[in-house]
């Protein structure tokens, strides 16, 4: 392992989140600072992709708000993330489901996994 990667691994705190993948519907609770105050806000949507590895891993979530698609990218080990909860587990065949951007209404539904 490279020296830089070793130092980076020692300094960053790796958080334990539930395992999720593309197609899952999740809710991310994160901290927002406004002046001196701090509050918790959430972002609920479908995971489009997970990218990177270990300390540099990120994931993209998409939701439709008032008919407008909104995407947000979160670093997995970000200190602002309080918790991640999985609402539904989706069944998709791809690791990156960018085709969801062009879809809306019934065609934008994702099949659920049977438990």
Structural domain that includes position 7: 3-108
| Predicted local distance difference test score (pLDDT) of residue 1 | 61
Find the angle CA(76)-CA(37)-CA(34) to the nearest 5 degrees: 70
Domain annotation covers residue 115? no
The predicted pLDDT at position 105 comes to 83
Neighbours of 95 (CB within 10 A): 12
**113 within some domain:** no
Domain count, the chain: 1
Residue 101 in any domain: the answer is yes
| 72: CATH | 2.30.30.790
Question: Is 51 a domain residue?
Answer: yes
Q: How far is CA 66 from the centre of its chain?
A: 21
Q: How far apart are CA 78 and CA 14, in angstroms?
A: 9
- Output DSSP code: residue 15: P
pLDDT of 51 reads 93
**CB proximity list for 63: less than 8 A, separation 6 or greater:** 43, 44, 45, 46, 69, 70
Walk along the chain (115 residues) and give the pLDDT tens digit of each residue: 688 878 877 777 777 888 899 999 999 999 999 999 999 999 999 999 999 987 788 999 999 988 889 999 999 988 899 999 999 999 999 999 999 888 888 888 888 887 6
Return the SS3 of 99: helix
* pTM (2 d.p.): 0.81
Predicted pLDDT of residue 75: 92
Please give the pLDDT value at position 3: 85
């Amino acid at each position: 392992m490279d020296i830089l990667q070793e130092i980076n691994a020692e300094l960053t705190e790796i958080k334990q989140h539930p395992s999720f993948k593309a197609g899952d519907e999740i809710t991310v609770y994160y901290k927002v600072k406004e002046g001196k105050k701090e509050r918790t806000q959430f972002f609920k949507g479908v995971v489009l992709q997970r990218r990177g590895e270990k300390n540099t891993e990120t994931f993209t979530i998409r939701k439709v708000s008032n008919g407008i698609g909104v995407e947000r990218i979160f670093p997995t080990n970000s200190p602002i993330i309080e918790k991640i909860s999985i609402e539904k587990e989706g069944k998709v065949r791809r690791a990156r489901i960018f085709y969801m951007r062009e879809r809306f209404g019934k065609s934008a539904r994702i099949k659920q996994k049977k438990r």
